A and B are shown apart, each in its own frame.
Chain A
């Protein structure tokens, strides 16, 4: 797991993603709440990470946070949070069953996308991930490798054109399940 994580981290950082790893949910949560301190609001799409957490308590700690994902809200907030199903070490890629539109809204419209990931969900390569997530099971598989980027003007790499300008990956060792 450590070796896969290290490869994943190297590859993801090479494409301008930020990668953090925590042993448990409390540490990860503290880190996320820290990120939400800045104004602008945040939307958290329903996911395994939230199971058993008191959402009112979270909103109390991060006043701009909401769990009601709509297109209007997603277009308005600074931060979107969602959980990934798998990741691919070889390319630093996140893999998600994104059939639920809420999952796409929070990872496309806000300027910052926080992607939660069980550390053990990191696989070696893409074929492995596509064996576990197949079009027969879902209408939308999203592969995300770094934040939104363009080089369309003079070949100068510029981050954050239509999608998020920051992709913050939070890997949590104790997080076992997938997004659902």
Chain B
């Protein structure tokens, strides 16, 4: 990570206006979105969008030609442009040929993508953005920080200042007045403009139609008043049939702003009359700029399913802290990172991709069902291939790659940490490591790891076996969680087997783009875990479980190591997370809870991988309820805690405020106990409360269930 980028992160984090505005918006957004989707089957809608858009992505050239034929039959001129230069030259030449002096624009991300305004202004033409947010940032000489709300990072005071210095002195920070001022000033520009530029939200091949949505009504004026209309349309906006616009119009306003429908939707087809009765000159530019290349990439083709609603920004725990000037270029947030890598260049995504904490929140709300976190990992992998890994990281993974060395180091660390560890915590680390313990304490490495402790546990005779995959944290920091797992499974008549040769699940390597290391970890683990013939391979760490169930296979697929996949699938079929397995055992009557105890209230934190990949949200809650605890739900129970594996080591400045919000939400429930299924979350949240001082106990579900079973 370049130091200039790190600096920009810190500037954003310390901008209280920015983090305040984005934080409040993200909270309101969740509520507004949920309300807008009431009575709508979101999964069904997004399946339709996926069908429509993936079909289009497979037929881009064909649809573009069909669109061109239809639109031209209706009097439009359609120009297919491969790259930004062609688009810019076309518009400037057209403007010059028609003697155009003034242009009004409604919001178009495609025009932002190619930096059109600069080009036209250099050609001596006045260009006015008319979307209020776009006009503000144009006057402020900035770029949009959000795809739907470009000026969300600015306060009314800042807007008043920009209006005063750039347009007319004396503007006050009164929002209705500022809006009226903009209306008045821009009205003249609409009426005087010779040419109007818009984007399009959808382009329909069957009819040659453009669908344009705005709330302000500026696109209606831009397409009605000037005699020439130029629409710049990225070819990913194409859909085959007129009916295909329906799922997009259902999802776009709901996901973007929590509206049932945007105030104005215009469906424009061919020439319409001008105000003087002449037919309007309509030019439609179908812009490729890497979209075809993207469609031909088996991994990234799905990114063309994006409808630009920006919901991936709105739910992102990192975006709401740093905003789009840090997290993105022209396009912002998760999808923006991917689009930047393609429309700009891979290298430009190098810093911004590192901001993704891989919580998966965006994936669950994306109307195009794009696996944004997975695509960001793929960028990470390609960057690592292209540029090589950073030296420090390479050295670290060389250690993780060698189980014996790795485990020997952890044992050595348990001795070396002694000057810093007190009561199971490390509260302060010296020098450059101090960032890690500034906002939360770290767990001390256990004197005796779980791999040694299990040897002294006397298990009863059982008819069934489960292989236990501990993962590094339970093995070396929280062996007591492993012991609780053994207690619970023994009660169900299951003997726990611990294969010694198991090693790191490879998640740290994979999430850093070091897929070869991840593959090597996967291989070691598959061999170790399949050695014993057991019915289950159970893990009490959701990230590890996801590695066993999905990531091993995905890593092999990415690297073309197809020969390894059958064994990986065999392991995946057996792998299960602790709470899901225990719930099954309870349902089968193999485990029963002690009756009649009121153990008080608890709140439950949904760990990212458990909730969004393994989809186990109810099992732990139900088990805790059966054990005798009352659930007190917290706000944003499924929002990331900021741990993100090694993320909190790489970006502690972002991890800390995410954790702070989580601690606040837990405290607001007034429950004395916070339970979760992930040892990583326990490490983060328990460490946070140790610093914070609040009397909240933080535990793994397994620990709370162990002594509650008959």
Contacts and interface: CB of A to CB of B under 8 A. Distances in A.
B260 A154 contact: no
A101 B131 contact: no
B225 A158 contact: no
Size class of the A contact interface (CB-based, 8 Å): 35 or more
Nearest to B260: A91
Contact of A139 (B131, B136, B179, B269): B269
Given A71-B191, A146-B263, A148-B215, A161 B272 contact: no
Interface string B228-263: 000000000000001101100100000001011111
A130 interface: yes
A32 B348 CA distance: 58
A160 interface: yes
B133 A152 contact: yes
B266 interface: yes
B332 interface: no
A140 interface: yes
Interface in B146-178: 149-152, 154-156, 159, 175-176, 178
Contacts of A152: 131-133, 136, 149-152
Nearest to A93: B261
B28 interface: yes
Given A145-B263, A150-B132, A71 B225 contact: yes
B269 A140 contact: yes
B275 A70 contact: yes
A152 B132 CA distance: 6
Contacts of B267: 135, 140-143
A51 to B, nearest CB: 22
A75 B151 CA distance: 28
Contacts of B266: 140-143
Given A108-B224, A144-B264, A162 B186 contact: yes
Nearest to B25: A155
A142 B272 CA distance: 13
A21 interface: no
A100 interface: yes
B402 interface: no
A47 interface: no
A151 B191 CA distance: 24
A90 interface: yes
A136 to B, nearest CB: 6
A109 B24 CA distance: 34
Given A91-B261, A135-B269, A139-B269, A108 B221 contact: yes
A127 B246 contact: yes
Contacts of A138: 269
Given A140-B267, A143-B261, A153-B132, A108 B179 contact: no
A108 B272 CA distance: 16
Contacts of A142: 220, 264-267
B217 A153 contact: no
Contact of A101 (B155, B159, B224, B263): B224
B583 interface: no
A151 B217 contact: no
Contacts of B259: 15, 145
B130 interface: yes
B487 interface: no
Contacts of B215: 148-151
Given A136-B207, A139-B268, A142-B220, A158 B262 contact: no
B182 interface: yes
Nearest to A145: B261
A36 interface: no
Contacts, number: 163
Given A15-B263, A75-B191, A160-B183, A148 B242 contact: no
A145 B260 contact: yes
B217 A108 contact: yes
B618 interface: no
B275 A155 contact: no
Q: Interface of chain A, helix or strand or loop or mixed?
A: loop
Interface in B1-35: 21, 24-25, 28
Contacts of B131: 152
A78 interface: no
A99 interface: yes
Contacts of A9: none
A100 B272 CA distance: 8
Interface string A87-113: 000111100000111001101110000
Contacts of A149: 215-216, 263
Nearest to B179: A158
Contacts of A141: 266-267
A145 B265 CA distance: 9
A134 B263 CA distance: 20
Given A139-B270, A155-B152, A105 B132 contact: no
B591 to A, nearest CB: 48
B99 interface: no
Contacts of B182: 161
Q: Among the interface residues B150, B182, B183, which one has the most CB atoms of the partner chain A within 10 A?
A: B183
Contacts of B187: 75, 162
Contacts of A92: 260
B204 interface: yes
Contact of B263 (A70, A139, A148): A148
A105 B224 contact: yes
B124 interface: no
Contacts of A160: 179, 183
A163 B204 contact: no
B220 A104 contact: yes
Given A71-B225, A139-B272, A162-B221, A154 B155 contact: yes
Given A91-B261, A139-B74, A140-B266, 10 more contacts: A70-B275, A101-B273, A105-B275, A108-B217, A127-B246, A135-B204, A139-B268, A140-B267, A145-B265, A154-B156
* In the complex, the 3 A-B pairs of residues with the closest C-beta atoms, listed nearest first: A163-B217, A152-B133, A143-B265
21 contacts: A70-B275, A71-B191, A101-B274, A104-B224, A105-B224, A108-B217, A108-B224, A109-B221, A126-B249, A127-B243, A127-B246, A139-B271, A142-B266, A143-B264, A143-B267, A145-B263, A150-B133, A150-B179, A152-B152, A153-B133, A155-B28
Interface of B: 21, 24-25, 28, 74, 130-133, 136, 149-152, 154-156, 159, 175-176, 178-179, 182-183, 186-187, 190-191, 204, 207-209, 215-218, 220-221, 224-225, 242-243, 245-246, 249, 257, 259-275
